[in-house]
């Protein structure tokens, strides 16, 4: 099925962990025309995965609406969501999520078994999809016998198995080296252009983001900017990802200081103070985590 448009209005998501509330999305609006390939960039903890999971029906919104074509995802029942997930979205994740005991072709076939596609049709479709991702010669390989890039291409084929109009890719190249990342992105572009799928791709790699027609920067649960790829190259060169992470940590430190002072001078009440502090602390910790994952010390 060709791509469908995605329309998001005033989307909010509050995650609860025990008594702590984290505002992951804060009134986000977004319109993606059918058949567009859009990248989403932004610091760790800014709400990118939450957004994708709500669009894909894996997570429930706190408020607001998400429409995919003429379906209002945020209004679907649990049963309708199962159907929506099977037919309308293909989801690709960062950590290669193939079933290790199944071969490449079985992994692709697997999602069609659940949808009740007859065996002969499945076999034919698997061949077609292996061709789409350029891996016909790897059909019987187990995931561990494939490179990271090849595994991710099989995951893309599996996500396409039911011919869903929308593909959601959450850091699909996050665990790949540059060469493999480039190949995987080339296939996503090919699928976008050739099959007309609407694709939303989260990435923190500007060179990956450049393959899309629009790059959205999300910060603190809101889309802050929408850029053409050419604009990003210039800006990302000037400010590296690490610098951006560091700058955000410094900003949060300043916000924390301000918050402490507001509390001392009784400008905010205790409940508000605790909640805001927890939430800022949470974001700061995930940013620090991201830096340490990259082998960089926090500021």
Ligand X SMILES: Nc1ncnc2c1ncn2[C@@H]1O[C@H](COP(=O)(O)OP(=O)(O)O)[C@@H](O)[C@H]1O
Please count the CA atoms within 13 angstroms of the CA of 34 that sit on its side-chain side.
12
Whether the Cβ atoms of residue 219 and residue 42 lie closer than 8 Å to each other: yes
**Cα–Cα distance measured from residue 197 to residue 44, given in angstroms and rounded to the nearest whole number:** 27
Q: Is 164 in the site for ligand X (CB under 6 A)?
A: no
Residue 203 binds Mg ion (CB under 5 A) = no
Select from 14-22, 61-69, 76-84, 97-105 the region that touches ligand X (CB under 6 A).
14-22
C-alpha span between 299 and 296 (Å, rounded): 9
| Residue selected from 30, 32, 39, 47 as contacting ligand X according to rule CB under 6 A | 47
Please tell me whether residue 24 binds ligand X under the rule CB under 6 A: yes
Whose tokens are 């199944």? That residue is 102
C-beta separation of 221 from 189 below 8 A: no
**Between 44 and 111, whose beta carbon lies closer to ligand X?**
44
Residues 235-294 that bind ligand X (CB under 6 A): 282-283, 286
What letter would DSSP give residue 72? Answer: E
Q: Which stretch binds ligand X (CB under 6 A): 16-24, 75-83, 178-186, 222-230?
A: 16-24
Per-residue x/- marks for Mg ion, 31-50, CB under 5 A? -----------------xx-
Alpha helices by DSSP H, listed for 88-240, are 104-114, 119-132, 148-160, 178-195, 206-209, 229-238
17 binds, among Mg ion, ligand X, none (CB under 5 to 8 A by kind): ligand X
Q: How many CA atoms lie within 13 A of 4 on its CB side?
A: 22
Determine, following the binding rule CB under 6 A, whether residue 17 of this chain makes contact with ligand X.
Answer: yes
Residue 150 vs 290, nearer CB to Mg ion: 290
Among 1, 5, 12, 15, binds ligand X (CB under 6 A): 15
Structure tokens at 87: 């037919």
203 contacts ligand X (rule: CB under 6 A): no
Least spacing, CB of residue 181 vs Mg ion, in Å: 17
């Amino acid at each position: 099925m060709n791509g469908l448009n995605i329309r998001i209005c005033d989307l909010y998501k509050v995650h609860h962990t025990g008594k702590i509330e984290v505002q992951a999305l804060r009134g986000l609006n977004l319109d993606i025309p059918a058949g567009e390939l859009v990248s989403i960039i932004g610091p760790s903890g800014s709400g990118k995965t939450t957004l994708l999971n709500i669009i894909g029906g894996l997570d429930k919104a706190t408020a607001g609406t998400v429409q995919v074509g003429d379906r209002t995802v945020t209004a679907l029942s649990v049963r309708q969501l199962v159907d929506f997930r099977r037919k309308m979205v293909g989801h690709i994740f960062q950590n290669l999520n193939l079933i290790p005991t199944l071969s490449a072709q079985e992994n692709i076939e697997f999602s069609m078994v659940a949808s009740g596609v007859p065996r002969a049709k499945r076999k034919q479709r698997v061949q077609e999809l292996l061709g789409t991702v350029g891996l016909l010669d790897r059909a019987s390989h187990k995931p561990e016998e494939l490179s990271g890039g090849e595994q991710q291409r099989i995951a893309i084929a599996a996500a396409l198995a039911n011919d869903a109009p929308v593909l959601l890719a959450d850091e699909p190249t996050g665990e790949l080296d540059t060469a493999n990342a480039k190949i995987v992105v080339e296939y996503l572009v090919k699928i976008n252009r050739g099959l007309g799928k609407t694709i939303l791709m989260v990435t923190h790699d500007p060179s990956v983001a450049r393959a899309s027609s629009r790059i959205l920067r999300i910060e603190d649960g809101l889309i802050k900017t929408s850029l053409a790829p050419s604009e990003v190259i210039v800006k990302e060169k000037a400010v590296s990802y690490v610098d951006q992470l560091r700058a955000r940590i410094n900003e949060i430190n300043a916000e924390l200081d301000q918050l402490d002072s507001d509390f001392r001078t009784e400008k905010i009440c205790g409940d508000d103070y605790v909640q805001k502090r927890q939430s800022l602390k949470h974001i700061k910790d995930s940013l620090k985590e991201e830096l340490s994952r990259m082998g960089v010390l926090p500021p």
